[in-house]
Structure 1
Amino acid sequence: MLTWKDVIHHATHGNNTPDRRVEKTEAEWKALLTPEQFYITRQKGTERPFSGEHCSRYDPGVYACVCCKTPLFDSNLKFSSSSGWPSFTEPVKNNVIDYIKDTSHGMVRVEVTCSTCDAHLGHVFPDGPAPSGLRFCINSESLVLIDE
């Protein structure tokens, strides 16, 4: 199980190698994504809290990256954090998320991106429920739910 110590280690010493890579030009991403998805995933934007379709959705399935369709989070590990964004306790595999130290906005956080295509997903915090203690705070616009 992933822990906050593991997250910090990855953010400071490097991430796991993904199973595959997807690389596209900015024009190719713009052609594939809605303007909001492009803003969030390619320009590191953040959607307004409680505005995303996945914020209060608890249907079964796997949440995948909207850009490259890499499975990221299992719906069974989604929880209500009351933060305004979909929250998960851990990713489906250790190599699907990259962890990046983020010092923007006058604070230190850990940004999470899709390791396959570098899409900005959100941030991870050490204030989640047991057993991992992690809260992956993810923009709805960066996800697509694949029904089981």
Structure 2
Amino acid sequence: MAVGKIRKSDEEWAGELTPEQFNICRKKGTERPFTGELNDCKTPGTYICACCGNPLFDSTTKYDSGSGWPSFWAPITEDAVATEEDRGLFMRRTEVLCAACDAHLGHVFEDGPKPTGLRYCMNSVAMKLEPGEGD
């Protein structure tokens, strides 16, 4: 299912988000490792975008990568997230964005576990957990 785009001005986002959420999600910041409340979370459920509520990841794909950020081996659906090249900080990485509102979520790396070999390394503050049973 395709995701409809949510477009708001920086002023609108700043009025809806905490300063930390705004810095990370809208200004492409990064939280310090091992500080996010979702890093060690083992609660079953769905991780959703903190900005717009778009479902992003299922807890069954979350694993401990040792990186200090919540890590997943796959998004909840192929069209839940978008990616684009990030050449910031003098390196090439692949940025992960919410497909619905373009919030910066984190980065994806090719050093994850099977079955995908991917590590979606996300900022805790960019997501919220909707507790549930998981799939």
> TM (normalized to structure 2)?
0.95
1:73 is paired with a residue whose SS is strand
Q: How many residues align?
A: 132
In the alignment, which of 33, 52, 56 is matched to residue 36 of structure 2? 52
Residue 141 (1) aligns with residue 116 (2): no
Residue 99 (1) aligns with residue 109 (2): no
Contact map agreement 1:42 1:119 (CA 8 A) in 2: yes
Structure 1 counterpart of 2:71: 87
* One-letter amino acid of the structure 1 residue matched with residue 116 of structure 2: S
- Separation in 2 of the partners of 1:39 and 1:28? 14
- Separation in 2 of the partners of 1:45 and 1:30? 14
- Separation in 2 of the partners of 1:110 and 1:71? 20
Residue 21 (1) aligns with residue 5 (2): yes
* One-letter amino acid of the structure 2 residue matched with residue 38 of structure 1: F
The residue correspondences of 1:88-127 to structure 2 (distance < 5 A) are 88-127=72-111
- Separation in 2 of the partners of 1:86 and 1:142? 11
Contact map agreement 1:64 1:145 (CA 8 A) in 2: yes
Deviation, structure 1 residue 60: 0.5
1:37 is paired with a residue whose SS is helix
Structure 1 unaligned segments of length 5 or more: list them.
Answer: 1-16
Deviations 1:85-111 (A, max 9, x none): 000000011111111011111111100
* One-letter amino acid of the structure 2 residue matched with residue 63 of structure 1: Y
Contact map agreement 1:18 1:116 (CA 8 A) in 2: no
Contact map agreement 1:67 1:142 (CA 8 A) in 2: yes
Deviation, structure 1 residue 21: 1.3
In the alignment, which of 11, 15, 22 is matched to residue 31 of structure 1? 15
Higher helix proportion (structure 1 or 2): 1
